[in-house]
Amino acid sequence: MKKKQFKTESQKLLDMMIHSIYTHKEIFLRELISNASDAIDKRHFRSLTDSTLGLDKDAYEIRLRVDREARTLTVSDNGCGMTQEDMEQNLGTIAKSGSFDFKKEHGANEEVDIIGQFGVGFYSAFMVADTITVTSRPLGASSAFIWESSGADGYTVTDGERDEVGTDIVLHIKDDTDDETYGEFLEEYRLRSLVKKYSDYIRYPIRMAVSHRKPKEGAEGEYETVIEDETLNSRIPLWKRSASEVTKEEYDRFYTDKFMDYEAPLKVITQTSEGTATYTALLFLPSHAPFNYYTKDYEKGLELYSSGVLIMDKCADLLPDYFGFVKGLVDSSDLSLNISREMLQHDRQLKVMAKAIEKKIKNELLKLLASDREAYETFFRAFGLQLKYGLYSDYGMHKDVLEDLVMFPSSKEKKLVTLKEYVEGCKEEQTSIYYAAGETVEKIELLPQVEAVREKGYEVLYLTDDVDEFALKMLSKYMDHDFKNVTADALDLSTEEEKQAVAEENKNADALLACMKEALGDAVSAVRFTASLKKRPACLSTEGEVSAEMEKVLNKMPGAEGAAVKASMILEINREHRIAEVLKQLYPAQEDKVKAYAKILYAQARLIGGMSIEDPGELSELITDLMV
Ligand code: ADP
């Protein structure tokens, strides 16, 4: 019999397809099952206008059959079947999709929810089969046609028989090689798990005759092997049911099974969208961070389904990094079912969906914040760091999404507060949001400047994560309030009078202050008196953009060695403290003593500010000298 040639520019296309488009051989089954489901859809659709063409709704099925001796796997359906012409057109032309044409003709709607579009899925079967035989009897015909091919060298179409309308696709599975065990596709358990993984939500039953060992009736202790039909797929996806019909237990079990978490999710988010992109999303907020969350091993992403068929395990493009903790899936009927990840990345629909999903997550988080504070704080303790990194990343580009979601511990009630809550609790004339950074809340509270600002009645945010201050710098303003580090030299809450008095005092004491500065060398850029300290003798303030805390963070980053960042520090002496008086008395007569005191005060200020002492030996000597 003369073989007909595949209608493509080059037969190499088939080879390329088989070897490069799909990374997992196992997806061939998904493709064949999706085609079968499409074929049943088409038959059902045709029967809407001609009822003699259809079957009873419950009679539609997709069936898998294994013959291990013959090494064949058959996928059958009682869908619309194919005419000889269909076979030539659709199976004989690579990249020609009958389903796509059908959809173009009839439009996409509830009745035609068709999966296939690219016209390459069928050929994926050549990844596991050396010969494929398709027997199909089309609607309205009494006989069948047999299409057969062993790959790139072409195909034959001959006359055949089939009892009913529908299609059998018989794959002759390749022999096992050293690297590949094709034989696994002849194992019941393997087929069952593939159906579960990829085709669980195909709406028609996918059946297979499965053998079971069962206790023999009437014969105690004896067993017999019975063959029973098993439906392998669960058919109706949880997310296709209306959210009000699904119980919390069902959602929880779905989440824990699917995402392998031992704890129920903190929140379930469902979204159904029609319009620019039609999709259903089922999302979960985990109640704790996975152990590898803050490592590079963690992979963000949502499962992506096209009309109930899994096409990607972790579609990273559906989630921005700062919402990378969200688990779940998206099912869309109008995604151009894809042949590669690269193409998917540029898909416009996908971008539209990602945008809408991001907005939804944000709104749900805000709702949670408003309605269940405790749950939100649990969430924030697990993933707040991620949100703050999000604020900082991309030059603060995502602040509109994130600024209302972040929280910081505050001086007022030692609780987490949002920026909005802070601003709403501000004094009337207050135009800044005050913060201080340090290792722990306790250490920050000890900062002399914090004490001073609190004493004036202002609330102070305590920043304990490395990224915090950088994130606020990116924000630059929130509700018209700028951010002020209370240890910044520029922060001066004293009255005009006080300021003038201090300026005068500093001028009068400039020789003394210069002497102290000389003792400290490059460690500080200046020494001066201040009116803003209450109890403590001295503190360090910083000038310019880099705070002491930022200096610490930047210098511990990998690669920072050698290019050390320095905050510009000013040693401030409390003008109301006894030490101020003592210093003035000692100068100029006892310059050496003044210099020693300057060093001790500087060291103390560093300790109180949570910094380490640069020369502990020298400090120890200075103090001992004083004691003896
Ligand atoms: P796609 O599914 O992307 O359209 P395929 O290569 O998988 O591409 O299939 C090509 C075409 O062959 C389908 O669009 C359909 O018209 C036809 N076809 C494939 N399998 C069947 C089937 N089981 N029953 C009827 N038609 C089928």
Residue with CA at minimum distance from ligand 1 atom 15: 98
Q: How far apart are CA 137 and CA 143, in angstroms?
A: 6
Same domain (yes/no): 125, 221: yes
- Output the CA angle 102-104-109, nearest 5 degrees: 85
Same domain (yes/no): 276, 358: yes
Comparing 105-119, 286-300, 490-504, 552-566, which segment has the lowest mean pLDDT? Answer: 105-119
Mean pLDDT of 248-266: 90
Per the domain annotation, does 312 fall within a domain? yes
Residue 8: pLDDT band (50, 70, 90) is low
Same domain (yes/no): 479, 496: no
Spell out the residues 6+ positions from residue 62 whose beta carbon is closer than 8 angstroms to its own. Answer: 33, 36, 37, 40, 75, 76, 77, 202, 204, 205, 206, 207
Cβ 82 under 6 angstroms from ligand 1: yes
Strand order across the 526-530 sheet: 526-530, 568-574, 538-543
The whole-number pLDDT of residue 562 equals 57
Same domain (yes/no): 442, 306: no
Per the domain annotation, does 376 fall within a domain? no
Residue with CA at minimum distance from ligand 1 atom 23: 36
- Start-end of H helices in 201-321: 248-259
Around 58, how many Cα atoms within 13 Å sit in the side-chain half-sphere?
0
Residue with CA at minimum distance from ligand 1 atom 21: 35
The domain tally of the chain equals: 4
| Contacts of the segment 346-354: beta carbons below 8 A, 24+ positions apart | 349/277, 350/315, 350/317, 350/318, 351/317, 352/276, 352/277, 353/273, 353/277, 353/279, 353/281, 353/318, 354/317, 354/318, 354/319, 354/320
Mean pLDDT of the chain: 88
The whole-number pLDDT of residue 326 equals 98
Cβ 37 under 6 angstroms from ligand 1: no
Burial class (CB in 10 A: 0-12, 13-18, 19+), 268: buried
Cβ 200 under 6 angstroms from ligand 1: no
The whole-number pLDDT of residue 585 equals 95
Residue 307: pLDDT band (50, 70, 90) is confident
DSSP 8-state code for residue 235: -
The whole-number pLDDT of residue 115 equals 46
Same domain (yes/no): 442, 315: no
Same domain (yes/no): 503, 558: yes
- Output the CA angle 228-231-236, nearest 5 degrees: 160
Using the Cα atoms of residue 613, residue 618, residue 623 and residue 626 in order, give the sign of their dihedral: negative
pLDDT digits (tens, 9 = 90+) for 72-118: 999 999 999 999 999 988 886 655 555 556 556 665 444 444 444 44
Q: In 452-588, where do the E strands start and end?
A: 460-463, 477-478, 481-485, 526-530, 538-543, 568-574
Q: Which of 63, 122, 147, 149 to mutate to test the pocket of ligand 1 (most atoms within 8 A of CB)?
A: 122
Cβ 79 under 6 angstroms from ligand 1: yes
Mean pLDDT of 23-44: 89
Comparing 5-9, 330-334, 400-404, which segment has the lowest mean pLDDT? Answer: 5-9
Give Cα separations from 109 to 52, 163, 307, 334 (angstroms).
Answer: 22, 31, 12, 10
Same domain (yes/no): 25, 123: yes
Per the domain annotation, does 243 fall within a domain? yes
In which domain, by residue range, is 247 found?
A: 238-371
Q: What percent of the chain has pLDDT over 70?
A: 89
Residue with CA at minimum distance from ligand 1 atom 16: 98
The whole-number pLDDT of residue 444 equals 94
Q: Is the pLDDT of residue 592 over 80?
A: yes
Q: How far apart are CA 536 and CA 445, in angstroms?
A: 13
Give Cα separations from 581 to 440, 584, 594 (angstroms).
Answer: 34, 5, 12
Distance 98 CA to ligand 1 centre (A): 6
pLDDT digits (tens, 9 = 90+) for 162-189: 999 999 999 999 999 998 899 999 999 9
Same domain (yes/no): 256, 316: yes
pLDDT digits (tens, 9 = 90+) for 551-570: 888 888 777 665 677 888 99
Q: Which of 387, 473, 400 is nearest to 437 (CA)?
A: 473
Q: Which of 189, 205, 231 is the last residue of a domain?
A: 231
DSSP 8-state code for residue 83: -
Q: For position 425, which CATH number holds?
A: 3.40.50.11260
Q: Which of 463, 486, 509 is the last residue of a domain?
A: 486
Per the domain annotation, does 311 fall within a domain? yes
pLDDT digits (tens, 9 = 90+) for 404-458: 999 999 999 889 999 999 999 998 889 999 999 999 999 999 898 998 899 889 9
User: Tokens for 431?
Assistant: 């135009």
Cβ 36 under 6 angstroms from ligand 1: yes
Same domain (yes/no): 518, 622: yes
Cβ 99 under 6 angstroms from ligand 1: yes
Peptide bond just before 215 cis, omega within 30 deg: no
User: Tokens for 213?
Assistant: 């060992």
Q: Which of 468, 486, 504 is the last residue of a domain?
A: 486
The whole-number pLDDT of residue 10 equals 42
pLDDT digits (tens, 9 = 90+) for 137-163: 999 999 999 999 987 778 899 999 999
Check residues 489 and 228 and name the one with the higher pLDDT: 228
Residue 275: pLDDT band (50, 70, 90) is confident
Residue 338: pLDDT band (50, 70, 90) is very low
Same domain (yes/no): 83, 151: yes
Distance 97 CA to ligand 1 centre (A): 6
Per the domain annotation, does 390 fall within a domain? no
The whole-number pLDDT of residue 43 equals 93
pLDDT digits (tens, 9 = 90+) for 506-550: 999 999 999 999 999 999 999 999 988 878 899 999 988 888 888
Q: What percent of the chain has pLDDT over 90?
A: 59
Burial class (CB in 10 A: 0-12, 13-18, 19+), 50: exposed
The dihedral region occupied by 559, where left means phi > 0, alpha psi between -120 and 50, and beta the remainder, is left
| Ligand 1 nearest atom to the CA of residue 101, by list position | 14
CB 384 within 8 A of CB 407: yes
Same domain (yes/no): 14, 142: yes
Same domain (yes/no): 547, 427: no
Q: For position 135, which CATH number holds?
A: 3.30.565.10
H or E element at residue 407:
strand 407-409
Per the domain annotation, does 441 fall within a domain? yes
Per the domain annotation, does 513 fall within a domain? yes
Q: For position 304, which CATH number holds?
A: 3.30.230.80
Residue 12: pLDDT band (50, 70, 90) is low
Per the domain annotation, does 379 fall within a domain? no
Tokens 């604020």 belong to 391
pLDDT digits (tens, 9 = 90+) for 352-364: 999 999 999 999 9
Distance 302 CA to ligand 1 centre (A): 28
